[in-house]
Structure 1
Amino acid sequence: MANYIEEYCARIRRGGARGLAEKPVVIGQDNIYAMHYVPYEHWNNSARLVIVSTTPGHTHVRLAATVTEELLQTQAPGPRIQRENKRRVELGGRMVRPNLIRMLDHFRVPALISQPDATSLWDEEGFDSIQPLALLPHATTRRGLTFDGPLDELLDTPMLRDVFQREFLDRLPQYPRDALYIGLGRTAWSGLEHAVRAGLLRQQQLLGMMPVPTRAGSMVRYFLREVREADLSPNDPVRHRIAWLDAAHREMEAGVERLRAESIPSAQPRRLTA
């Protein structure tokens, strides 16, 4: 694989974060899709929780350039830049991180990996226990908009399928066999189910699915039971997603309870055998 991080940093040194926005590092493109590099390579090979999204959005592309420019000014080495982009940028920003933290705390997920709360997962020390991961880690667009198509579309597009295989599926064996996985959105969840069918993950490792944690709209608020169906306006698009949101909530609850029960020692006395 080409050393994209060097070219990425070189462009920021020459033109700053704004210059990179005008001339991004292109991984691949055709008449419909484009893939732009963002630093994503860092992985926590002892991660106990893997949080899977579909692809970085425009906000994350801009945030990555800003964070990288800041780090370059402190003479940070490449590995540090990659780690900080994972920690501060991927699943980060005001539009995503707050709702993600609320959802993780709602289901008390951090307790499953011995962390006090979701905020601590992105602290310097707590971050080693999680791994943000994307099906398409290069920022992928479809006709200029962030790719949000179904997994079938991804698999039917050779450029996207190759990256999905190389940068997602092929990396899964790096993580512990007892790591837990959460999918953000239906495409990410489908990607995890695909990995199970391919024998790369066990079904028991899939904790559940949560909606993409954007601040726009009422989907996360409905998912967290902060508003009821009756509270939604007649034209709210969340009304068309209620069935899968309810199913996802039930599955997350069941997954967390299953793991919590497994972690509690049996109260039954062990029988002695002659």
Structure 2
Amino acid sequence: MQDDPQRFEHYAPAIRELDLGRIGKPAEIPRRFDLGRDGRLSSHYIPFDHVNPRARLVLVGITPGFTQWKNAMREAQRQLAAAAPEHVDLAAVKRAGAFSGTLRPNLIALLDHIGLQHWLGLASCAALFGAASHLVHTGSILHHPVFIDGRNYNGTPNMLRTPFLQRQIEAHFAATARALGPAAVFVPLGPGVSAGIRWLAQQGVIAPDRVLHGLPHPSGANVERIAYFLGRKNRATLSAKTNADKLDTLRHELQAQVRGLDQIID
């Protein structure tokens, strides 16, 4: 699976016509972007058609959210105002939308904390969203935005036990994973994504030793776990909902796994 400019060109006229200022929630996304519906679930096209087959690092979220959808559409509109669809830089569209909003600074801090910037030869993983974007592929196990009851999908219902969602994994993310180089390392964000990646590994799509499981999700709703993982919050001040021992174990395991990456990857 490589870039699919023909798919983007199909949606380009509708993207040009979008009045993003009038779209304030997922339920207001025009039906022309619908990719499928099943009961409470819906999936909608996002111009994330770019695939980076040279990527060394693959960041995998659960699904683009509404904020990411709007940011990607805004960048696509900006480019379409200046060029024909076939000249739109789909990589730039993806950079504008992928892990945008409050997710990105948290994600960069977490990646740096486990040492991935050193493995990649960077001062910081912040460069992955700029000058070093050639080293990363950003994606989601549910490639196109999925909403449930008009809200961002957050893992319920279970994607591996929901045929509508499992088909999307097989049709989109599995194809992308096969297109990436054999040296790519996958970082799933959140337990639901980890479960999906493990399932794909069982199918032979991804090598298990190329996956870094256990990084806290960078969502702003996860602020306390992130702060403790990064050493910004003292154990004594944690609430009962945060398992410090588990986070300590995950941090040490991930840092050790990153240090050992060069031993398993040419």
Scaled to the shorter chain, the TM-score interval is 0.7 to 0.9
Aligned to 1:248: 250
- Quick check: 71-80 or 102-111, which moved more? 71-80
Structure 2 CA distance, aligned partners of 1:211 and 1:147?
18
Alignment map for 1:108-127 (pairs within 5 Å): 108-124=115-131, 126-127=132-133
Residue by residue over 1:76-128, the C-alpha shift from the partner in whole angstroms, topping out at 9 and shown as x without a partner, is 644634211221211122x111111111111220221223321111224x111
Q: Report the equivalent of 1:160.
A: 165
Give the partner amino acid of 1:159.
Answer: F
Conservation of the 8 A alpha-carbon contact between 1:40 and 1:85: yes
Aligned to 2:35: 27
Give the conservation status (yes or no) of the 8 Å contact 1:37–1:138: yes
Structure 1 segment 233-272 matched on structure 2, within 5 A = 233=239, 237=241, 239=242, 242=244, 244-259=246-261, 262=263
Query: How far apart, CA to CA, are the structure 2 residues paired with 1:5 and 1:92?
Result: 21
In the alignment, structure 1 residue 142 sits paired with structure 2 residue 148 = yes
| Aligned amino acid, residue 197 of structure 1 | Q
> TM-score of the superposition, structure 2-length normalised?
0.86
RMSD: 2.5
Change in 2 beyond 3 A, CA 1:68/1:201: same
Unaligned residue ranges in structure 2 (runs of 5+): none
Q: Secondary structure at the match of 1:51?
A: strand
Q: Matched residues in 2 for 1:28 and 1:19: separation? A: 23
Q: Bigger CA drift: 9-18 or 106-115?
A: 9-18
SS at match of 2:35: strand
* Shift of residue 3, structure 1, vs aligned partner: 5.5
Q: What is aligned with 1:73?
A: 81
CA distance, structure 2, for counterparts of residue 4 and residue 214 of structure 1: 30
The question of 1:51 aligning with 2:56 is answered: no
Displacement of 1:179: 1.2
| In structure 2, C-alpha distance between the alignment counterparts of 1:17 and 1:102, rounded to whole Å | 31
Match of 1:211 among 210, 216, 220: 216
TM-score, with structure 1 as normaliser: 0.83
2:178 equivalent to 1:173: yes
Q: Which amino acid aligns with 1:255?
A: Q
- Aligned match for 1:231, one of 237, 249, 259: 237
Give the number of the structure whose alpha-carbon radius of gyration is greater: 1
1:133 matched residue in structure 2: 139
| TM-fit CA distance, 1:155 | 2.0
Map of 2:15 onto structure 1? 12
In structure 1, the residue matched to 2:200 is: 195
Amino acid at match of 1:140: V
Quote the residue 1:271 is aligned against: none
Kept after mapping to 2: 8 A contact 1:186/1:209: yes
Aligned residues: 255
Residue 97 of structure 1 aligns to a residue whose secondary structure is helix
